[in-house]
Structure formats: structure tokens, C-alpha cells
Amino acid sequence: MAYNFKEVMSKPERLAPGHRMCAGCGGTIAVRNVLRGLHDEDKAVICNATGCLEVSTFMYPYTAWEDSYIHNAFENAGATCSGVAGAYAALKKRGKIDDTYKFIAIGGDGGTYDIGFQSLSGAMERNTDMVYVCYDNGAYMNTGIQRSSATPMYADTTTTPVGSVSNGKPQNRKDLAYIIAEHNVPYVAQTTFVQNFRDLHQKAEKAIYTPGAAFLNIMAPCPRGWRYETSNIIDICKAAVETCYWPLYEVIDGKWILNYEPKQKLPIEEFLKSQGRFKHLFEKGNEHLLEECQKEVDRRWEDLLFRCSR
């Protein structure tokens, strides 16, 4: 696929400035760059689950969205988008609509991994012609930084607080991209903010213009929940990829494809050390916790390499 960075970045913004998202927020970076995957002549319908993105970009009667926008409940972005796509297909077939519309559902990890999983799974299983985009910031950030099933092991959250009897969240994070790939949909991809956004831009365009269901999982750091300096967001994303905590891959019609393999895989400490939610892991006596984190990253990385080698 041809890629012209200057041309892609010069596209008109479909998420207008002036919204209320935090400085250094990964969610808006993810959405702005996904929407650049739309061709200029095409329109979009955005279905947005309740969460940080919704409450900060759409406060009636004001909206930051340039395309048609639907705010739905926390749990049903997949169902709403699926229904609207079906109505559009019926009207298009009857000649009542001439314009080309693309259908994009967006949710955070709370509204995707957890509360909205049922409607997401249904839309994927039906192979609805839509894209579901998860901006994964690893917790319920909008309601107070509570743990979600996307929260990494040993992260400090308000519902898994670090203290004398707890080292943070005791469970590993759910791997949702793997789960959606098992729905046998045409396109699944995992990405984040690296390589001048090339990986994200290309995967967004593929997802939007692949007929049938597509899913994008985008690591989107949150400065409040992860506790990092806002200017460090890109470095954190790079570290996630170079440590293989967040590998870049896609699954096209069942074929697993690794998009990037580090020349020298970095230890997981390189990803964890700049985030306040993991500072307790670097205290004396907690070396075994870092070893457990490394062991899990290694296990998942080896499994991904095996899948991509078949």
C-alpha cells in the first residue's frame, strides 16, 4: 500500500480541536489518526460508547465531530453501529442513499473489553461491515481509574491500590485482539503511536476499506491513570513495542502477520519505569514481580511468533 506521510497528515481534521480531552491523551491521538484512513470523498457514522472520549468531545449542543455521530450507552456501541450499517445497506439497495458511508464504532477498554464485549462479539460474529476501534488506556479512566480486564498485572489503580497487602492488580491483562481474531473476521490489527504513525495509518485504512467486520486495538496511554509526563507519550509507546509488551501485528482472513520485530528486544523495565502506576515494582524486594511481568511478556511474544510462522 502506497504511503505518503505528508499527504496523510495534511488531510482535514474530522475530530475538531477545542474538545475537552486531557493534554497528552492517547485517545484523541488514536481517533484523529484512524479518521485519516477515510478517503476524502467518503462520509462516516461514528458510534461512540460512553467514556472519556464521549464526555469530552460531545457536550450537547456542542460537538467536536465533523461526521455523523451517535453517543450510545457504555455497553452497546457494537450493536448500535451494526444496526445503523444494516439500515444504510437496506436504503442503499433501494436507491434512497447515494453517498458512500463507512461505519466506525469507538470505545475505551472498559466499554470494549468488559461492558461492551457482548455487543462487540455479536457484531463481529455477524461479520457486519464496520470497524470497531478500541482506544486501550488500560483502565476505567473516565470514572476514577478503576481496573479493567485490560489493566496490566501489578498496575496501581483505585480498585487495586498498592499498599501493605497488595501489589496492584493480581491478574494479567486480557488479550482482546486474540479473542476477536478467533471470531474469524476479515481483519484484526494491533497498533500504537510509532514509526511516524505509519503503522496506525495503514492499518486504519485497511480496516475501514476491508469488506466485513474489522477490529483495531490501539494502545492509547492516559497521563492521569498511567502517571507520566505528557511529553513522554510517544517514548512510552515505542518502549511498549520494543519490549514486545505491545507487539504490532495483523490478522488478515485468518493469517497472522507480524509487522515489526525488534532487533534487540528490550527488558520490560524499559516500558514500566516511566509510569507512576508501576513505581512500586522498582522498590527493593520486588524484583520477583518484575520477573513475573517479564515471564508473561516472553510467553505471549513466543506464542505470537509461533502463530505468525504458520
Name the residue ranges covered by the structural domains of the chain. Answer: 5-309
Which stretches of the chain score pLDDT less than 70?
1
First-last CA distance in the chain? 23
pLDDT of residue 176: 98
- Residue of 105, 30, 101 lying closest to 75 (CA atoms): 105
Sign, CA torsion 73/74/79/83:
positive
Helical H runs in the chain?
5-9, 26-35, 52-57, 77-93, 109, 117-125, 176-181, 198-209, 223-226, 233-242, 269-272, 287-309
Residue 1: the pLDDT is 58
pLDDT score of 3: 82
Whether the predicted model's global pTM rises above the 0.85 cut? yes
pLDDT given for residue 5 in this prediction: 86
Cβ pair 82, 24 in contact under 8 A: no
pLDDT the model gives residue 288: 97
5-309 homologous superfamily: Thiamin diphosphate (ThDP)-binding fold, Pyr/PP domains (3.40.50.970)
